[in-house]
Structure 1
Amino acid sequence: MEDLLRPIYQERASHRNTLGILMVEKKLNNPAVTDTFDLVLFVIVKEAEQSVFIKHYVSNEQKASLYVVDEKQLNEWLLLGSNRKVIDWVLNGKILFDRNEYVYGLRKRLLEFPKESRQLKMGIEFAKLIRRYMDGKVFFETKQLLDAYNHVIHALHHLARLAVIEQGFYPEVTVWDQVKQIDPQIYKLYEELLESEETLDKRLELLFLASEFLIHSRIGTGTAHLLKVLNEKKGAWTIGEITEHPELKVYSVDIVIMVEYLVERNVLSVEEVPTKGQGIYHRYYVAEKN
């Protein structure tokens, strides 16, 4: 199949806009990495009219997929973790073309995982974790157990990804294999949720109690990036200033509930500033100094 696709990637390599080309073959133990295709050609370009362009090929009953992705989209995926397969492709794919060692530098950056990048990714995962945990708790308290279960499953995934990032690794598609080695306590919680013979009500009750402790223990690492940004400015912030800050926009809507969680935990304090309306105040937020 690679021989048949050679003219395709050679033609792509001839474009000055192409930064790198990788080939990823299907893994028998994890075909999901290539979306069950036998082979993926992953082409990274500097700029493109479409941020993601995909083509499918077939030959002798073998399937291949071509991805052409611009640099901006790739960096967004790597930052937000919204396409985890791509991390596997960049780290483990066979390099077919590498302009000025672009792919080599990208791999080096991923493997070194500098502190600034780790802090930002931990902040994003922590915000998603709080969102799922808080929403799930509301569903549990109102006896909507299946919705609560769904949110707890997602919360545990974010907790698992956070634990992996804390140790300096990028979460992979098979994140639970990573967590089993890195943080067995979280893995055990996941097993108990799925396999326990307790009633769903009891399982969720125990999970929320255990999760509360694990989340609280990660406030320091999960909020380091946010607090760093907030402490760059003296004084208080409005929620609008927080959500619109260039470095915090990537948290998306999850930052609102994260802020409320941190107020409840006395990590952020609230200042009330009078408005023109009697008895109505603006709510400002201030990072508590350690």
Structure 2
Amino acid sequence: MEQFLRPICQEWASRCNTHGILMIEKAVCHTAVTDTFDAVLLVIVDSQSEPVFLKHYSLDSEKAALYVVNEQKLNEWLILGSPRKAIDWVFNGKVIFDRSDYIRQLRRRLEQFPPRQRQLKMGIEFAKLIRRYIDGKALFMARHWLDSYNHMVQALHHLARLTLIEYGFYPEVTVWSQVKHMNGQVYKLYEELVGSEEPLPKRLELLLLASEFLIHSSVAAGSIHLCEVLKEKEGAWSIAEMACHPQLAPYSVDLAIMVEYLVERRVLAAVERPTGGNKIAERYYAVQRGEAR
């Protein structure tokens, strides 16, 4: 496969804007990493280049995918964890070309997992966890068992990734294989939800109770990034100010529900301000003194 892709690698390596090239070959037991392609080429280019460029190739019965990603977009992938395969590609890909040790330094930086980046990733996973948990609970109360089940499975995935990040690891595609060795409590919840012979409503009821405790235990880790950003200025923030802040933009549509959850947990305080001549008040948010939970 490498010989088949050599001309493509040479073409990209000759370009002055190329930082590095990685090749990821399909593993028999783990085809998901390459989306069933026999190989994936990840070409990392400078931030002035197009964010993402894709091409597919084939030779006889073999096929390959080319991803050309600029360093800004790659960093976004690594922070947001989407696509999740990006972590596997960077850590486990075979280095084909590495200008000025770019890939080696990138890997070293990722292995160190800087605290600020870790806090942001925990915050994003926590926000997604809250979204799935609250929606799953609402669907359970409405007796929509299968829809509730779907949301709770996703909630457990976010809880698993949050747990791994808190331990200092990047969540990989095989996240449950990682969690099994790190947090038996979370893994057991997942096993009981998908493998128990109890009726589905009973499984969901027990999971919701257990999840509430685990989510409560994760509040400090999941909210630290948001709270640090909000402390950057005196006074309270409107939700619009928070959504527009570049460090909070990655929370996307899950920001509002996370903020309201943290108000309930008394991590944040809701401050009401009059809007003019009517009785409607606008809500602003600030970090509670002492950040009570």
- TM-score normalised by L of structure 2: 0.96
Distance, in Å, in 1 between the alignment partners of 2:238 and 2:148 is 31
Measured in 2, the distance between the counterparts of 1:55 and 1:237 equals 44
Partner of 1:132: 132
2:123 corresponds in structure 1 to 123
Percent identity reads: 62
Q: Can you list the C-alpha shifts for 1:183-229, whole angstroms capped at 9, x where unaligned?
A: 11111000100011111111111111000000000100000000001
Partner of 1:183: 183
CA distance, structure 2, for counterparts of residue 29 and residue 3 of structure 1: 23
Which residue pairs with 1:233 in the alignment? Answer: 233
Q: Give the whole-Å Cα distance in 2 for the aligned partners of 1:87 and 1:17.
A: 22
Indicate yes or no: 2:123 matched with 1:106: no
1:105 Cα deviation after fit: 1.0
Give the structure 2 partner of residue 285 of structure 1. 285
Q: Distance in 2 between matches of 1:284 and 1:28?
A: 53
What pairs up with 1:76-115 in 2 under 5 angstroms?
76-115=76-115
The aligned counterpart of 1:148 is: 148
Q: How many residues align?
A: 290
Greater displacement, 231-240 / 188-197: 231-240
**Structure 1 segments of 4 or more deviating over 3 A?**
47-50
Residue aligning to 1:222: 222
Take 1:273 and 1:64, find their aligned partners in 2: how far apart are those partners?
57
Q: Mean Cα displacement is larger for which, 69-78 or 50-59?
A: 50-59
Q: Which amino acid in the other structure matches residue 112 of structure 1? A: Q
Q: Shift of the alpha carbon at 1:156? A: 0.4
Instruction: Please give the alpha-carbon distance, in whole angstroms, between the structure 2 residues aligned to 1:50 and 1:229.
Output: 30
SS in 1 for 2:19: strand
The CA distance in 2 between the partners of 1:254 and 1:235, in whole Å, is 23
Q: Distance in 1 between matches of 2:44 and 2:67?
A: 8
User: Structure 1 counterpart of 2:59, which letter?
Assistant: S
Name the counterpart of 1:200. Answer: 200
What displacement does 1:60 show?
3.6
Q: CA deviation at 1:61?
A: 1.5
Other structure's SS at 2:97 match: strand
Q: Which amino acid aligns with 1:154?
A: Q
Task: Name the structure 2 match of 1:11.
Answer: 11
In structure 1, distance between residues paired with 2:48 and 2:40: 19
Structure 2: which 5+ runs fail to align? none
Per-residue CA deviation, residues 128-161 of structure 1 (Å, 9 max, x unaligned), is 1001111111111111111111110110000000
Higher alpha-carbon deviation: 189-198 or 238-247: 238-247
Shift of 1:254: 0.3
Residue 246 of structure 1 is matched in structure 2 by 246
Structure 1, gaps ≥5 residues long: none
In the superposition, the TM-score normalised over structure 1's length comes to: 0.97
Indicate the residue corresponding to 2:263 in structure 1: 263
CA–CA separation in structure 1 for the residues paired with 2:113 and 2:28: 28
- The letter for the 2-side match of 1:159 is L
CA distance in 2, matches of 1:92, 1:132: 31
SS where residue 198 of structure 1 aligns? coil
Asked if 1:41 corresponds to 2:36, the answer is no
Q: How far apart in 2 are the matches of 1:68 and 1:98?
A: 15
Q: Which residue of 1 aligns with 2:168?
A: 168
Q: What secondary structure does 1:253 align onto?
A: helix
Tell me the SS of whatever aligns to 2:237.
coil
- Give the letter for the 1:45 counterpart: V
